[in-house]
Structure 1
Amino acid sequence: MIEPLLLAVCRVSTYDGERRLTNASSFFFERERRLFLVTSRHVMIDIPSQHHPTRLQVELHTDAEDMAQSTGFSIPLYEDGKSLWRQGIDAGGEIDVAVIEIDRNALPQGAVYRAFGPANLLAPGDQVEVGSSLLIVGFPLGFHDTLHHMPVVRHAVIASSFGLRFKGEGYFLTDARTHRGTSGAPVVLRAPVTRGMPETTLQWLLLGVHSSRIDVGTRDQILDEALGLNGTWYTDILMTLTDQ
């Protein structure tokens, strides 16, 4: 049995035409029968590093009975010179989360995947404590099970007051060992039994989208270890980005 959570996450490669650029992580989000791919906005475009891909390629399973079977699925990022993805902005500035809608009819025949949905987001009254244990599901440095094409999981804990915008921006901190390639990974918390989520729903609360490691510019590269802290953007932005 494959845990459904692992089937909701897929590996992303960015391309400029046929030239491969970077690796990242992503996950599926479904709303009102529409399917979206969610990742970090800097995977789509990152002006400071001159990262300008023209398409993404995600790896999809194609046989529910044999997880070793997969194929690459290409997603164009532009049409007639206009970007096809959506990114968010709020009073604190740009939000490092982006979504792009996927045409289900274009998916490979027999595509096997799962998707988060609005039921996986926090509801009014839900409380998450600092120090809570989380999982980050993704592809650090592109590493994964190359036979079965599955992501790996890293443990994390909430390292700042959850619900409070760290430095006034729309993210919170996690304490976890992460690497390049984890950008866009879902950050999840096991849903409590009292939540009463339907059996067909992933039994996880989708708390955030992992963005990047956070460091201190004044850190002595020899004497001081890296902080080991990460910025994770709140997922309430998904309801805005997937709105009709």
Structure 2
Amino acid sequence: MLESILLSTVPVGTFRGNTGLTNASGFFFLRDERLFLVTSRHVLQDEPSGHFPDRLEIEVHTDPNDFGQSTGFSIPLFHDGLSLWLHGQDSAGDVDVAAIEIDRRALPANAVFRAFTPAHLPEDFRLIEVGTSVLVVGFPLGFHDTLHHLPVVRQAVIASSFGLRFQGQGYFLTDARTHRGTSGAPVVMRAPAGTDGLGDLPWLLLGVHSARLDVGKRDLTIDEALGLNCAWYADIVTRLTAGAPFLR
């Protein structure tokens, strides 16, 4: 039996025309029967690095009995010159999370995936303490099971007080070894037994991995990297997808 969490996350390739640019991670989120792909905002646009793709490509499984069967699926980022993705701000400024709706009519009829829903967000933060074990599900440096087209997981722990905005920003910290390509990965923990409404995806969606955190004055020849990462609180996903304009 394949763990359902591995079907929630897909590799995200960014393109400008036919030119491949970067690799990242993303996951499915279902809201009122509307399907969204969630990833980091900087995957879709990053002005400091001059990163301006015009489409994404993800990989979708097409056979529940053979995970070696999959197909690429292209997602445009613009329509009539207007961006199609949703991103938000909070009291501290921009949030590095974006969501873009997937036209389910264009997906293969036999597409196999799992999607988080608003029910997968934690309600009782007391269950999530500093040191709580979590997983980061994604495609570090693009690495994955190339035969079955599945992500890998990194073990992590919550490294700051969950529920408090670290340094006033809308994220918490994780302690995990991560790499480029993990941007947009879901940060999850096993749901407590008896949690309702999760279907066959018994995980809580805590956050969206964004980037490694470092110290500006670190001596690169003496000091190791902190090994800490920013994960934006997952409630931003529910706010982005609530009242999202329908596909044109």
TM-score interval for Structure 1 and Structure 2 normalised by the shorter chain: over 0.9
The two structures, once aligned, show a CA RMSD in angstroms of: 1.1
Deviation at 1:125, TM superposition (A): 6.0
Q: Name the structure 2 match of 1:106.
A: 106
Give the TM-score taking structure 1 as reference length.
Answer: 0.97
Cα deviations by residue, 1:37-64 (Å, 9 ceiling, x for unpaired): 0000000100000000000000111111
Deviation >6 Å, runs of 4+:
none
Q: Secondary structure at the match of 2:105?
A: helix
Unpaired runs of 5+ residues, structure 2, are 244-248
* 2:224 maps to 1:203: no
Are the aligned partners of 1:116 and 1:201 in contact in 2 as well (CA < 8 Å)? Answer: no
Aligned to 1:13: 13
SS in 1 for 2:141: helix
The alpha-carbon deviation at position 109 of structure 1 amounts to 2.9
Report the secondary structure of 1:144's partner residue. coil
CA distance in 1, matches of 2:104, 2:238: 20
Match of 2:49 in 1: 49
> What CA distance in whole angstroms lies between the structure 2 residues aligned with 1:199 and 1:205?
9
Separation in structure 2 between the aligned mates of residue 129 and residue 17 of structure 1, nearest angstrom = 45
CA distance, structure 1, for counterparts of residue 86 and residue 31 of structure 2 = 15
Q: Structure 1 CA distance, aligned partners of 2:57 and 2:239?
A: 25
Distance 2:198 2:192 in 1: 13
| 8 A contact 1:15–1:54 mirrored in 2 | yes
Identity value in percent:
65
Q: Are residues 1:163 and 2:159 paired?
A: no
Provide the C-alpha distance between the structure 2 equivalents of 1:121 and 1:42, rounded to a whole number of angstroms: 23
Question: What is the CA deviation profile of residues 184-216 of structure 1, one whole-angstrom value per residue up to 9, with x for unaligned ones?
Answer: 00000111114x224624111100000000111
Which structure 2 residues correspond to residues 57-206 of structure 1 after superposition, within 5 A?
57-123=57-123, 126-194=126-194, 196-198=195-197, 200-206=199-205
Unpaired runs of 5+ residues, structure 1, are none
1:222-241 correspondence runs (5 A): 222-241=221-240
TM-score by length of 2: 0.96
Contact 2:158-2:173 at 8 Å conserved across structures? yes
